[in-house]
Amino acid sequence: MLFYKYQKTGNLDFNILRRGEVYFASVAELNDASECRPRFILKGSEELWQRLVQFILVHACFESDYFQFDKKDEIRQILDLSVAIGRLLKKQTKNKDFGIESLGPAFRNALKSCGAEKLSPFLLRMMENLASNFIQARLPQILSDEKYIASFALNATNPTMWGHYADAERGFVRVFGTDDDKVKVLSDINILHGTRPAKMGDVDVTEIGIYKDDRLELKRVRYGKEIPKVNAFHRLIHKFSYTEQEDHYDVPLNLVGDAAQKKDHLVGLVKYSGWRYEKEVRAFYPAYESLLPEVRTLRIGMENIKGLVFGPKMSRESRARAVLSCHLMKQSRSSEIGAEYEFAFFEAQQAVDKFDFAIRPVGILSGQYFGRHLPLKPIAELDKAAIARLDVMGEQISGRK
């Protein structure tokens, strides 16, 4: 499978090309404001509702300046309401998908009902406000799941893509390839969370660690109008409080089965149908913490880097810079490639009678660069076998094969 990255011709783009890198963008950096936005619902057992209530009340109390060490009795009174409030909320929601946007009012009413005879009017009013503020402001932050995404396209001849992402055809398209729907990535430091097959004596085991390299699955984006549902309990279970005995008996793991599975795995893989023309595939950075941009640029394995397509309106200078950048990449990473490695150049030409492009082979990257002689061996100087390989690849890029 071939996949593509549309690029402009800025200094940063050429630098990324020279190093054979891609940038993994945070959700906030993506160009669709609805990216990775889940539809949070709550659907779970009575015990999960009770633990959720306790979680909210604990945070509401301890994030307030009112509750100090001398307020232990009041805190105990409040937390003792968790069971009753959780039971009431479960009864009201039954076994439906309860939208988390409705949690604030429902929680407030349940607190009033269960706390009217247990708490003083002042304490009850204050807890209503504190809990409501926590649910509205803090809970969404706690539920957020940071993702870092590298986006590619499955089409290199889409005029809209050339216009949006390749500087109105003045840019270029990088060509990548994979035989197993995975792409190799490399970092200069151990920062990629992953697994490796390993041995423990004579037994095959799986090693979990942080590495400098990984092979990331390319996942196809789906297009539609519905936001994927996510059961918020699955993001909260590991944040709830547990006794030492509960941890010992794997209560958190067992509680996962009490929450209905939804479509958490589709967050980041569903976009509005208006983006369908992108035909996008994505790789997700293997990390479980917030990362600064400096460590989110990863090198692509040379075995996945196949070539480059010049844009129809790309200037001579930009073409020369692109060729030289690819030459520097190949030279600096020569230890990753064998003698048979071939990097191909093509150019996109506008079709005469329709909004489309023809893909014409230009040549291959050579090892010679001096003065004004670019390290590009033109197609006229290639043997028949090399020309045939470029023709086949050109047909694949154009979508004809």
Segment 145-160, tens digit of pLDDT: 889 999 999 999 999 9
Sort strands 280-284 and 219-220 into parallel, antiparallel or unpaired: antiparallel
Q: What is the pLDDT of residue 301?
A: 97
d(CA 134, CA 104): 9
List the one residue out of 229, 273, 191, 164 whose CA is nearest residue 24. 191
Residue ranges of E strands in 212-290: 213-217, 219-220, 222-224, 229-231, 270-272, 280-284
Identify the band that residue 401 occupies on the pLDDT scale cut at 50, 70 and 90: low
State yes or no: pLDDT of 185 exceeds 80: yes
Given a contact cutoff of 8 angstroms between Cβ atoms, the answer to whether 390 and 308 are in contact is no
Q: Angle between the 103-115 and 121-133 helix axes, to the nearest 10 degrees?
A: 160
Mean pLDDT of 245-249: 85
Identify the band that residue 66 occupies on the pLDDT scale cut at 50, 70 and 90: confident
Q: What is the pLDDT of residue 121?
A: 92
Mean pLDDT of 186-210: 89
DSSP string, 15-36: HHHHHTEEE-EEGGGSS-TTTT
Residues of the chain with pLDDT > 70: what percent?
Answer: 99
Question: pTM higher than 0.75 for the full model?
Answer: yes
Q: Is 187 left (phi over 0), alpha (psi -120 to 50) or beta?
A: beta
Cα distances (Å, whole numbers) of residue 316 to 168, 176, 319, 323: 16, 23, 5, 11
Q: What is the CA radius of gyration of the chain?
A: 28
User: 169 or 248: which carries more pLDDT confidence?
Assistant: 169
Mean pLDDT of 217-240: 94
For tokens 């503020």, name the residue. 133
> Which residues sit opposite 39 in a β-bridge?
229
User: 190 or 69: which carries more pLDDT confidence?
Assistant: 190
Identify the band that residue 68 occupies on the pLDDT scale cut at 50, 70 and 90: low
What are the φ/ψ torsions at residue 195 (nearest 5 degrees)?
-130, 155
Per DSSP, 228 falls in state P
Q: Tally the C-alpha atoms within 13 A of residue 284's C-alpha that lie toward its C-beta.
A: 20
Mean pLDDT of 102-114: 95
3-state secondary structure 345-367: EEEEEECCCCCCEEEEEEEEECC
Identify the band that residue 70 occupies on the pLDDT scale cut at 50, 70 and 90: low
DSSP string, 107-160: HHHHHHHHHTTTS-HHHHHHHHHHHHHIIIIIHHHHH----EEEEEES-S--HH
Q: What is the pLDDT of residue 351?
A: 87
Identify the band that residue 34 occupies on the pLDDT scale cut at 50, 70 and 90: confident
Q: Lowest-pLDDT range, 70-74, 201-205, 286-290?
A: 70-74
Q: Hey, what are 88's tokens? A: 């009431």
pLDDT single digits (tens) 267-285: 999 999 999 999 999 999 9
d(CA 330, CA 244): 55
List the one residue out of 17, 96, 60, 111 whose CA is nearest residue 307. 17
- The average confidence (pLDDT) of the chain is 93
Mean pLDDT of 187-192: 94
Mean pLDDT of 240-260: 88
Mean pLDDT of 133-141: 94
